[in-house]
Amino acid sequence: MLRLYTHPACLLHDPGPGHAEQPARLRVVLQALDHDRHAALDRVEAPQVSREQLLRVHSAGHVDRILGCTVQADRQWLDADTAMSPGSVEAALRAAGAAVAAVDAVMAGTAKHAFCAVRPPGHHATRDQAMGFCLFNNIAVAAAHALDAHGLKRVAIADFDVHHGNGTQAIFEREPRVLFASSHQSPLYPGSGREDERGVGNIVNGTLSPGAGSHEFRELWDGVLLPRLQAFKPQLVLVSAGFDAHRNDPLADIRLGQEDYVWITERLAALAHTHAGGRLVSTLEGGYDLTALGTCASAHAGTLAD
């Protein structure tokens, strides 16, 4: 059974009219997960992350800036892309808290797989900076919790969002207990993720040229990223699940379809089964065509549940 973590507060983060990272993104995912196919989902309300859990990957200054942000008007801009509204603090706390609770659940054996249907997304947030629609780095908080609270020695993060997870890479590039493997379009925001960025041997970036499709994506994962993940023998698999490499997404130029997300989900679940006792936690990142996002997130969750 798949455990689903979400919270109504994640709908209250509102970057404003016309912004790509809108509340409707999560709404369409939750509507898709209400379909009869997902009737057996174990639905759990996401708790708030603790300050201590955030400080494992973020500086005190960054945590204080986000938690202390009092939005006087409709929103406050942190950079050209990233805004906070009155509901943003709780949304960010629930999004990161979902990832931590999901790690606890799979480590305790109360769930084998978990999907965190939350926002704001996280993988662009660095130790000191909110950016790229992201306030806290949810997947990094989860990985650090697995290391520190559960004593794991090998945690893998697989990121198939179309944008490079620069924040996740920066947080862990000197941490050999974490392997970060990412496929992403290049060139594209945020401009990082070159294949010669290797950290301490624990960073594996695979780039896709604009216009690449299913063949290039699968060849990259089968030929480069998955073999590195297999060799690492992770005790836990974490997934930054962005669905913005879909052919209809307005923010990128990769041409994947729903079947490609089923394929990569099957491969990552098999990796977790082989090395991690099945333990896999996925959290929502990007995806900005609402129809494609709902369909692909539903396929991802259904594949994990199966």
The total number of residues written for the chain in this structure:
306
State the pLDDT at residue 102. 98
Q: Which residues are catalytic?
A: 124
Domains in the chain with CATH codes: 2-305 (3.40.800.20)
Map tokens 């704001």 to a residue. 120
For the chain, 306 residues long, give each residue's pLDDT as a single digit of tens: 899 999 999 999 999 999 999 999 999 999 999 987 888 899 999 999 999 999 999 999 999 999 998 776 678 999 999 999 999 999 999 999 999 999 999 999 999 999 999 999 999 999 999 999 999 999 999 999 999 999 999 999 999 999 999 999 999 999 999 999 999 999 999 999 999 999 999 999 999 999 999 999 999 999 999 999 999 999 999 999 999 999 999 999 999 999 999 999 999 999 999 999 999 999 999 999 999 999 999 999 999 998
State the pLDDT at residue 80. 94
Map tokens 């990796």 to a residue. 271
State the pLDDT at residue 72. 66
Radius of gyration of the chain (CA): 17
Burial class of residue 224 (count of CB atoms within 10 Å of its CB; 0-12, 13-18, 19+) = middle
State the pLDDT at residue 37. 80
Residue pair 187/198 in contact (Cβ under 8 Å)? The answer is no
Give the integer Cα–Cα distance in Å for 208 and 177.
26
State the pLDDT at residue 264. 99
207 strand-pairing partners:
184
State the pLDDT at residue 69. 85
